[in-house]
Structure 1
Amino acid sequence: MTIRTLFLGACSLVALTSLAGAETLTIATVNNGDMIRMQKLTGDFTKANPDIQLEWVTMEENVLRQKVTTDIATKGGQYDVMTIGTYEVPIWAKQGWLMPLEFGADYDVDDLLPAIRDGLSADGKLFAAPFYGESSMVMYRKDLMEKAGLTMPDAPTWDFIADAAKKMTDKDAEVYGICLRGKAGWGENMAFLTAMANSFGARWFDEQWQPQFDGEAWKKTLTFYTDLMTEAGPPGASSNGFNENLALFQTGKCGMWIDATVAASFVTNPKESQVADKVGFALAPDAGLGKRGNWLWAWSLGIPAGSQKVEAAEKFIAWATSKDYLELVAAEEGWANVPPGTRASLYDNPKYQEAAPFAKMTLESIKAADPTKPTVDPVPYTGVQFVAIPEFQGIGTAVGQQFSAALAGTMSVDQALQSAQALTLREMTKAGYVK
């Protein structure tokens, strides 16, 4: 046996020993583009941390929410890092289900946008770190808008959107004036519809927690939505969520899409979008009542309480949500494709401002959303596109199923609203909100 063989054998043994002693983090995440990109770039993290291995469990949005909620509520211990949102974090923190995060000074917690940071904190402590933050806005085809003889205002009304959508629709060419979420789920169609309803003067509950689906404002909202989608939306819209509508827009089948601001980098990326050079942006619409139909959200990374791998999990979260990670994505994919909506320094960066034509509109939309005053009339809850109570996850999805059925035409708007009112009243009475 030669010295070289002995040396190589020793190196292999060291590598195997190191791998055997490595800690494996199981990370539950959503199948959105920014998270898929993060998985491809994690070689940067494991190279710097050879004692930590990563195992990914990637799921569709509704499935992810169900799985992580079940796991954390039952203390299942299936995941070491969870991708969760602005709805879950404060509620789960108060229930003792999440570990508070403590990062070093170089992480620069104060650089996180206040609206995003506040939504992920409880009692002054950060319980999840934002991977990307978002509001919602109008993304539209400038060429189709021009062809229709219209000019998109920076701050459009719902009436303008409806008129434009009808004029931009060419069903023979499979081009639809508007694409909106229809897939049932509290974070799918109800994220869009709740934000839209806010702008129409609707609210989930009055100040005594009485459901409000039997009111005129909700009827106007749901009627407007279903009529608009019937006239100018794509077929099968009741099955479409964020990713389905993204694909439709990128392939040139949507004139307008009102959805998460985070989509902007994907619809303007020429590697992914057939209409990349034709996209314009505007604020989410209003109905003249002083509230726009935009939301506030952050997909974030948190650690379940009782985790045996807190130190390793915290290291990974610090890496994935750091300024250095933004620089890494910029180097690999260009500044326009870095995860948006989390850090003030990003929006002060001239390179980002130049590369991302949507940067200003994204920041304005995030700043315009007010979770403490989400509706025209007073409400006893916080949250823009959700109600920040534990029961909302189940109620919101059940109501979403009724509204998705109304969009599909299997029940009328009136039937959907009556059903939503009854089931919400039943659950809120059972939970003790309604006396």
Structure 2
Amino acid sequence: MTLKTLMLGACSLLAIAGTAQAQSTTLTIATVNNGDMIRMQSLTEDFTTKNPDIQLNWVTLEENVLRERVTTDVATKGGQYDVMTIGNYEVPIWAKQGWLLPLDNLGADYDADDLLPSIRSGLQMEGKLYAAPFYGESAMLMYRTDLFEKAGLTMPENPTWEFIADAARKITDRNANLSGICLRGKAGWGENMAFLTALNNSFGGRWFDENWKPQFDQPEWKESLQFYVDLMKDAGPSGASSNGFNENLTLFQQGQCGMWMDATVAASFVADPKNSTVADKVGYAIFPSKEGVDNHGNWLWSWNLAIPAGSTKAEAAQKFIGWATSKGYTELVASKESWAAVPPGTRTSLYDNAEYKKTPFAGPTFKAIQAANITKPTVKPVPYIGGQWVSIPEFQSLGTTVGQLFSAALAGQSSVDDALAQAQQVSTREMTRGGYIK
């Protein structure tokens, strides 16, 4: 073999390698820094091994920052991200605007019919799926059974907020750095306002009346917000106005909270003995209601993967979404970690799985999700759907503004009355500007 032949062969190999590299696709994925998403990143070698022509670039952000950045990118069709992690609040609004691409090729074995109907229905428009659910949730109460036993307390089947407040104050022990209850305080429409909207629903309140008039000047908001501020002052952790889902999760896992009212997805993390010091001491109960009000304020949420219309890599993005939200991914997590660690709340088959049903939280989680009704989230009639959110485009900005006002009240920077008055004023202005109030 001549030197010339060798050189030609080497050049051919380099050309082939260069072509393969040129054909490689890199997906930029924007996601939230929640535990299930962090776990997904650690398992993506399974995907890239099966799809060697696709590489993944992760942008992992705190919840409020994620929402701000993906909203800006999708609205301008900036193309910064190929896969976005968004909620069931955004999906129908953005799909209607033409900001999302339909998911019509998730794989032959994807089995979209296995998705829980209540979750799937919020991700469709005209029969097409515009996002695939990674995990779904409602909300429930998690509590320390050992502390309840020590205090002589028994959790009722249908707890009221009056009982919860009394129990929280009884089990609080400042000397032991133990707060009776942890509740979201960090400002954001998906942070403190997710909880406070659901709390107000359970007190019989609502964001707007049938004519879109804001209701912050009504007694239900005054009662629910004052209840929350007083309870957190007496039995909540210090710096509560800075605590969102992740911060409260850490406090509960470290044994510094007697109760935590939050998303059902947290159950697998508080029951994980590798990360939770109280894993074997956790009980679960339905979202409380106010005495005399027949509404538990259950919410319904899902974190979903969607493709923005500005992406030029839709085919590869659908392959990834199909992998990450499939039955196969669930089985991968179970094999690598445990059935308790799999993403909850999206597939009927998961709640039929005998191994998963052995976890202490599978039953309460499924019950909470089934009880949620986003088409009738309030006692009084309303012109919107949503449990912990309101299904209008303006809510993202408005909810965050109101959340900042209420977080300031929690921090003692304003009174409850002042916060509510400002919330009424800004909401009335925005709803008038948006044409809702004639």
Normalising by structure 1, what TM-score? 0.96
Distance 2:285 2:79 in 1: 43
The residue aligned with 1:137 is 140
TM-superposition CA deviations, 1:4-30 (whole Å, max 9, x none): x99999989866653442100000000
The residue aligned with 2:89 is 87
Distance 1:350 1:15 in 2: 48
Q: 1:16 to 1:137 in 2, by over 3 A?
A: farther
The residue aligned with 2:343 is 339
Distance 1:420 1:145 in 2: 37
The residue aligned with 1:46 is 48
Flag structure 2 segments of 5+ consecutive residues without an equivalent. Answer: none
The residue aligned with 1:313 is 317
Q: 1:400 to 1:13 in 2, by over 3 A?
A: same
Deviation at 1:210, TM superposition (A): 0.2
Correspondence 1:407 to 2:410: yes
Distance 1:250 1:10 in 2: 57
One-letter amino acid of the structure 1 residue matched with residue 221 of structure 2: W
Distance 1:178 1:270 in 2: 21
Correspondence 1:396 to 2:399: yes
Distance 1:25 1:121 in 2: 24
Classify the secondary structure of the residue corresponding to 1:106. coil
Alignment of 1:56-135 (within 5 A): 56-102=58-104, 103-135=106-138
Correspondence 1:249 to 2:252: yes
One-letter amino acid of the structure 2 residue matched with residue 313 of structure 1: A
Deviation at 1:121, TM superposition (A): 1.2
Classify the secondary structure of the residue corresponding to 1:176. coil
Q: Percent identity?
A: 70
Correspondence 1:322 to 2:326: yes
2:78, 2:310 within 8 Å by CA — same for their partners in 1?
Answer: no
Distance 1:17 1:251 in 2: 52
| Structure 1 stretches of at least 4 aligned residues deviating more than 4 Å after TM superposition | 5-17
Correspondence 1:204 to 2:207: yes
Q: 1:51 to 1:176 in 2, by over 3 A?
A: same
Classify the secondary structure of the residue corresponding to 1:385. coil
Alignment of 1:127-166 (within 5 A): 127-166=130-169
Distance 2:10 2:69 in 1: 44
2:297, 2:387 within 8 Å by CA — same for their partners in 1?
Answer: no
Q: 1:16 to 1:149 in 2, by over 3 A?
A: farther
Q: 1:12 to 1:139 in 2, by over 3 A?
A: farther
Alignment of 1:262-281 (within 5 A): 262-281=265-284
Correspondence 1:291 to 2:295: yes
1:196, 1:294 within 8 Å by CA — same for their partners in 2?
Answer: no
TM-superposition CA deviations, 1:376-410 (whole Å, max 9, x none): 00000001100000000000000000100110011
Distance 1:434 1:160 in 2: 39
Distance 1:176 1:382 in 2: 34
Distance 1:402 1:8 in 2: 67
The residue aligned with 2:30 is 28
Distance 1:34 1:305 in 2: 26
Correspondence 1:420 to 2:427: no
One-letter amino acid of the structure 1 residue matched with residue 69 of structure 2: K
Classify the secondary structure of the residue corresponding to 1:178. coil
Deviation at 1:331, TM superposition (A): 0.3
C-alpha RMSD of the superposition: 1.7
One-letter amino acid of the structure 2 residue matched with residue 345 of structure 1: S
Deviation at 1:294, TM superposition (A): 2.1
Flag structure 1 segments of 5+ consecutive residues without an equivalent. Answer: none
Deviation at 1:262, TM superposition (A): 0.4
Q: 1:99 to 1:150 in 2, by over 3 A?
A: same
Distance 2:107 2:53 in 1: 20
Correspondence 1:168 to 2:171: yes
Deviation at 1:293, TM superposition (A): 2.5
Distance 1:305 1:161 in 2: 46
| Aligned partner (choices 350, 356, 378) of residue 352 of structure 1 | 356
State how many pairs are aligned.
431
Distance 2:336 2:26 in 1: 26
One-letter amino acid of the structure 1 residue matched with residue 324 of structure 2: A
**Segment drifting more, 287-296 vs 221-230:** 287-296
Deviation at 1:122, TM superposition (A): 1.5
Q: 1:12 to 1:265 in 2, by over 3 A?
A: farther
Distance 2:10 2:21 in 1: 16
One-letter amino acid of the structure 2 residue matched with residue 81 of structure 1: V
Deviation at 1:346, TM superposition (A): 0.2
